[in-house]
Structure 1
Amino acid sequence: MRERPLRIAVFASGSGSNFEAIAEAVKAERLDASIELLVCDRPEAKVVERVREAGVPVHLFRPKDYPDREAYEREILEQLRAKGVELVVLAGYMRILTNVLVDAFWGRMINIHPSLLPSFPGLHAVRQALEHGVKVTGITVHLVDGGLDSGPILAQRALDIRPKDTEETLGERIHPLEHELYPQVIQDIAAGRIDLERYTNTKPKDGIHS
């Protein structure tokens, strides 16, 4: 039993629907966590509106204002440490990560991906599934290890692909699964049902994660 809520930071670049699902789970006391920070690389993104309504501190930045990725990641890392963040939650964050953040939060950074990994990593996973003609796809929550959606898998949910599914309709059916599974996995981490330490015996990969 935790003595206090798990301190998390959410990274997002888009609409923020996964952020909202996590925030609602916290508010409803289904998730024993506190959102300490939202990190966003697009100040105009809709997630910024959602976050402000939730009263969560926001770190906004524009990558072009920095000489390289490492520079803005060092700034982010300072904020994460200042707020005592224990778990980084990537929720539609579209920036490539370097080892500045991956190494610092190895074993404490998770991502959600719209496919049953290791199938269809990277961009346009829903489109990839349709183009390959698979009959089942789904979502995966995994640790970030510096590779392309290659970290240890923590949880998955499957979803049948319908004959008339398009990239848009399949994406719309995948989102509710994400909104259900992601808060659940975070709660399992907070409650100790998922022990992240078992995955930290190996070193993160050299390279980048997108």
Structure 2
Amino acid sequence: MKRVVVLISGAGRNLQALIDAQRHGRLPDCLVGVISSRADAPGVQRARDAGLPVRCITPADFTDRPEFDAALMRQIDDWAADWVVLAGFMRILTPGFTQHYAGRLLNIHPSLLPRHPGLRTHAAARAAGDARHGATVHFVTEALDGGPRIIQGALMVRPEDTDETLAERVMVEVERRIYPQAVAWAVAGRLTVDAMGQVGLDNRTLQAPLSLDDLEAGF
């Protein structure tokens, strides 16, 4: 079975979605460890409650980003991870890190990329008057939030939405569905990306990111 290490910095809600998916059989028994960049992150307790090994590796303990990333890599490689999954990991990774795990490093971003990369995406979507908003699972590259996209889930923005209600709806209705599914594809050997950034699923090149409709159709 493929081995997955999850990196977090905060509440760990997407980590919890992966734990729940594994517990209920929607994800194989693949989670082998969690690394948090904050010792006080609520996600640390979620991992411990699930019986997962946890390591807290904090940037303040290192002189620069390469040294911090090197410590992350040592722990990830010590756990012999096949895949590295970012779940609210609020650190920009160095090229050395992204290249080391090229093709096996996933992230979920709370927008319909390429719209609204970076932070405060829900506020950005509302300010732009977007009719639709959602989340994207993508491979991580050196380009911030710019790696090849795997699956996106969208919902309609309601007139009464606030930044907070929109964020909650995206988490509950979209992120909790698409991230466990993408990780399941990865650990089953169904998901690939080539040197040109073309994403493949079951040896078929995706011409566009998959959607929630595709999940309902049986992908």
TM-score of the superposed pair, with normalisation by structure 1: 0.90
**Structure 1 residue aligned with 2:188:** 191
SS of the residue corresponding to residue 106 of structure 1 reads coil
Identity of aligned residues (%): 39
Does the CA-based 8 Å contact 1:152-1:199 persist in structure 2? no
**Structure 2 residue aligned with 1:25:** 21
Does the CA-based 8 Å contact 1:8-1:33 persist in structure 2? no
Q: CA deviation at 1:192?
A: 3.1
**Structure 1 residue aligned with 2:110:** 114
Where do 4+ consecutive residues of structure 1 move more than 3 Å? none
Determine if the alignment matches structure 1 residue 182 to structure 2 residue 185.
no
Does the CA-based 8 Å contact 1:33-1:187 persist in structure 2? no
- Kindly provide the amino acid, as one letter, of the partner of residue 30 in structure 1: R
Separation (CA, whole Å) in 2 of partners of 1:105 and 1:59:
19
Q: Deviations over 1:143-198 (max 9, x none)?
A: 1011110000000011100011110110110011111110011111222332x2x3
**Structure 2 residue aligned with 1:37:** 33
Separation (CA, whole Å) in 2 of partners of 1:35 and 1:200:
27
* Structure with bigger RCO (C-alpha 8 Å, 6+ apart): 1
- Kindly provide the amino acid, as one letter, of the partner of residue 128 in structure 2: H
Q: Deviations over 1:23-75 (max 9, x none)?
A: 11112221124211211111011001111111111110221111101112111
**Structure 2 residue aligned with 1:200:** 195
Does the CA-based 8 Å contact 1:142-1:154 persist in structure 2? yes
Does the CA-based 8 Å contact 1:144-1:151 persist in structure 2? yes
Does the CA-based 8 Å contact 1:31-1:183 persist in structure 2? yes
- Bigger mean CA offset, 33-42 vs 127-136: 33-42
Separation (CA, whole Å) in 2 of partners of 1:133 and 1:189:
34
- Kindly provide the amino acid, as one letter, of the partner of residue 24 in structure 2: A
Q: Deviations over 1:78-127 (max 9, x none)?
A: 11112110111000000110022101001110100111100000001111
**Structure 2 residue aligned with 1:147:** 143
Determine if the alignment matches structure 1 residue 76 to structure 2 residue 78.
no
Does the CA-based 8 Å contact 2:30-2:187 persist in structure 1? no
Name the Cα RMSD after superposition.
1.2
SS of the residue corresponding to residue 134 of structure 1 reads coil
Pairs aligned (count): 196
Does the CA-based 8 Å contact 1:63-1:69 persist in structure 2? yes
Does the CA-based 8 Å contact 1:33-1:190 persist in structure 2? no
SS of the residue corresponding to residue 18 of structure 1 reads helix
SS of the residue corresponding to residue 5 of structure 2 reads strand
TM-score of the superposed pair, with normalisation by structure 2: 0.86
- Structure 2, unmatched stretches of 5+, are 198-219
